[in-house]
Amino acid sequence: MSESTWTSTPQTETFQTLQKLVAGYVLMPTDPEVLETAAAGIRRAIDRLNTRSWAWAITYDDITFDVDQTEYRLASGFKSPRNFEIWDANSQSVGRLSYKDWKTFLVEHQDITSESEPCVYSVSNVNAMGSLSLNAIPSVAWVAKYPTGRIWYYRKMQYPNPSGPTLDVPSEVVPFVQASAEAFTADRYAVAKAAPAYTRAERYLHELVVDNCHGGSTDWE
């Protein structure tokens, strides 16, 4: 089965469904102002999810190397790198580039013209620059040998599209998003209900972190 046709199940609720559930927590499921607050609460929950790197958020992009080019653009949803394969002309993975944090990269690879071929990469401020850097300038021979690469990375969860089919998270993440959004909304319209919702949200988040740690133990490196 192609990865492009595979869909994880169970699917998550739609944004509209979750938005109404959150507004219903404060007994105002049709009030426009409360619905907008619920939407903001959902976005704040996603912001909090994006403070961590989740095993279920690993994805990849393929990169075509160019002669004399050391910087390559990253996807807008890129959060942090996981692994960078290099592929031969037959599109077979034949090795990896090593990762160094930006500070170490700058100290140890100040003169990229003095290094013979790329073997290390780094990512600086993704939010500001959105690119990765190689430690050496790819030569014609190197690009002929390794024309492409595949960078695996943790992606950021995206805000829901009001007209989109589902939220950009697995179904097991929805209870946290809902409870967090309910707490956010209750803080404004039903204060007595806020604390219980915050407690549920923290419990759900803890369960997600534990599950993520177990999932990470089967990951590669």
**pLDDT of 217:** 55
10 Å Cβ neighbour count for 37? 23
Give the pLDDT confidence of 30-72 residue by residue, as tens digits.
999 999 999 999 999 999 999 999 999 999 999 999 999 999 9
**pLDDT of 221:** 52
Q: Residues 153, 80: contact at Cβ < 8 Å?
A: yes
* Mean pLDDT of all residues belonging to the chain: 92
Cβ contacts of 64 within 8 Å, gap of 6 or more: 147, 148
Q: Fill in the amino acid letter for 97.
A: L
Q: Phi and psi of 33, rounded to 5°? A: -65, -40
pLDDT at 12 exceeding the cut of 60: yes
pLDDT at 1 exceeding the cut of 50: no
Q: Is 3 exposed, middle or buried (0-12, 13-18, 19+ CB in 10 A)?
A: exposed
pLDDT at 2 exceeding the cut of 80: no
User: Does an H or E element contain 79, and which?
Assistant: strand 78-87
Give the pLDDT confidence of 158-171 residue by residue, as tens digits.
999 887 778 999 99
pLDDT greater at residue 196 or residue 114: 196
Distances (CA, A) of 121 to 58, 89, 112, 135, 213: 18, 21, 11, 6, 26
pLDDT at 216 exceeding the cut of 80: no
**pLDDT of 199:** 98
Mean pLDDT (whole number) for 87-96 = 96
Look up residue 75 and give its two tokens: 């996807």
Q: Is 28 exposed, middle or buried (0-12, 13-18, 19+ CB in 10 A)?
A: middle
Q: Residues 77, 156: contact at Cβ < 8 Å?
A: yes
Pairing mode of beta strands 120-123, 131-134 = antiparallel
Q: Which residue has 């950021």 as its token pair?
A: 156
pLDDT at 8 exceeding the cut of 90: no
What sign does the dihedral 23-29-32-34 (CA atoms) show? negative
The DSSP call for residue 128 is T
Pairing mode of beta strands 98-99, 131-134 = unpaired
Q: Fill in the amino acid letter for 26.
A: V
Pairing mode of beta strands 93-96, 78-87 = antiparallel
> What distance in Å separates the CA atoms of residue 57 and residue 208, rounded to the nearest whole number?
13
**pLDDT of 218:** 57
